[in-house]
Structure 1
Amino acid sequence: MLRRIKHDNLGFTLIELMVVVIILGILALYVGPKIMGEPEKAKRVKAKMD
């Protein structure tokens, strides 16, 4: 008789991890420059207010 093999995989596959890393990279490329530009923008606004 055929025995059923029980697979309790609790981890992530390499493909799943790669997809997450790619998504995080895309988000970092989009958000990073906006965050890095904020201090310069704040300086310009402060200079206009003075």
Structure 2
Amino acid sequence: MMALSIKEWYHMISNATIADVLLDRLIHNYHRIELGGESMRKRIKG
């Protein structure tokens, strides 16, 4: 699965208006959670 940053959407979609509409629908009610540190999966396996 590939994740695109918001800036990359405008490069992928040549029409800025359409990119705005799509992003508005996708991120209207989203919550962004950024995690840091080592993965717990790596700790358990290691």
TM-score, length basis structure 1: 0.29
Greater share of residues in helix: 1
TM-score, length basis structure 2: 0.31
